Every structure is written in C-alpha cells, then in structure tokens.
Amino acid sequence: MRRPPLLGIVLCVTLLQASGCLTPHLTHAQPAPDPAAEAKAELDAANKANSDQEWETAIGHWTRALELYRAQQGSEKRQAICLLGMGMAYRGLQKHAECIAALTEALALLAPLPETEQHRAVCLFFLGQSHYDTGQYEQSMEAFTRAVELYAQMDGAGHSQAETLYNLALSCGELGLYERQVAALEQALELYGAGEDTARQRADCLK
C-alpha cells in the first residue's frame, strides 16, 4: 500500500486546523468549573428570589446549590442552609409536607455540628409553624419547645425566644394545656419588655 506523501498529510492537518475541525484543546481550553463558586452563585440567586417572594424560582436555585454542595466534603452546614431556605419557600407555597421534610433533613445535618444553635432554632421555629398549620399540635409544641431552649442559650435572642413562646402557647392551647399556655405567655411578655416596638406582640399575649 502506498503511503501518502508527507506534504499531503501536513496540508490536510493545516486545513482541518484552520477550519476548526482539529483545533488543539490547549488553544481554547476553558477553565475547569469551580463547584464551590457555582454553588455560591446558586445560593445567592436563591436568596434574591426568596426576598422577592418568588418561591418556585428560589427552590430551584436552592435545589441546584444543594446538589453541588452534596458533592463537596465538609459542606454539611451549607447543605442545611439550602434545606432551611427550601423549607421556608415551601411554607410560602403552603406545601407543608415538603417544608417539614426539608427542615427535618436540615436539622439532622446540623445536629452534630458546633455553633449551629441559631440555625437549628430557626429550623425548629418554622417546623413548629408547619406542624401547627396542619393540625399536628403535639409535634408543633415539641418543635417550639426545643427552639425556646436553643434561643435561651443565645445572647440577644430574647425577641426570637418571645415569638417562639407565643407560638408555643398557641399549640398548648389547642391541646388543652392551659397552665402551660399561660406560663409561656407570661414568659413571652417578660421577654418582650415594655418597649413601644413590642406593643402589638404584648397585646397578642394578653388576649
């Protein structure tokens, strides 16, 4: 078999390169995608959509961020933050089953991590609200009780603790636990204090 002339081979390769068919990879190499940067961008987009109350859009971005974080070691807290955001967005859509599932998973991720009291308390607060809205008053009471305990450990969390106590009182009332309801309301009143900015909350407690 005749070998093609060397000059012909060189010419063919030159033409293919010129047409883009054999463009060397190094010439137009794209930088490798950065999963951490991609996840951060999705997280920022989710937060923006959430602030605009575009719940479905926010959930989509949080879901993609969660998938990216799951592929990264040591990202449990970021995963939990994504799930917390998804839970709040699902609550905005009145999708309580999805909300409860997302927040429960977030709590499981946060449980062994240090310095996550605030995130866990927020998860428990919204979990309690969704349980309450679906008539699961015992689960609601348990979630609010755990949130109160966490807020009590934090400096400057008195208002959040009071809000949670008020919601705890509502759950207790639904269960006929009136003494516990009154105790929670009294504690909430004490935490609200006498400031003008808490007048409405104190009025709610006194109803």
The answer on pLDDT for 6 being more than 90 is no
Give helix 96-110 / helix 76-92 axis angle, nearest 10°: 160
Whether the CB-CB separation of 142 and 132 falls below 8 Å is answered with no
Q: How far is residue 167's CA from residue 185's CA, in Å, rounded to a whole number?
A: 9
pLDDT the model gives residue 79: 96
> Is 77 a residue whose pLDDT tops 90?
yes
76 with 113: CB under 8 angstroms? yes
Structure confidence at residue 7 as a pLDDT band (50, 70, 90):
very low
Closest CA to 142 of 127, 155, 154: 127
User: CA-to-CA distance for 202 and 190, rounded, in angstroms?
Assistant: 9
User: Among 92-101, 118-127, 195-204, which stretch is predicted with the lowest mean pLDDT?
Assistant: 195-204
Higher-confidence residue: 104 or 1?
Answer: 104
Looking at the chain, the whole-number percentage of residues with pLDDT higher than 70 is 77
Name residues whose C-beta falls within 8 Å of residue 107's C-beta, 6 or more positions apart in sequence: 80, 120, 123, 124, 127
Whether the predicted pLDDT of 198 surpasses 80: no
pLDDT band of 36, cuts 50, 70, 90: confident
> What is the model's pTM?
0.79
Asked whether residue 14 carries a pLDDT value surpassing 80, the answer given is no
- Helix axis angle for 76-92 and 35-51, nearest 10°, is 30
Average pLDDT value for residue range 125-141: 97
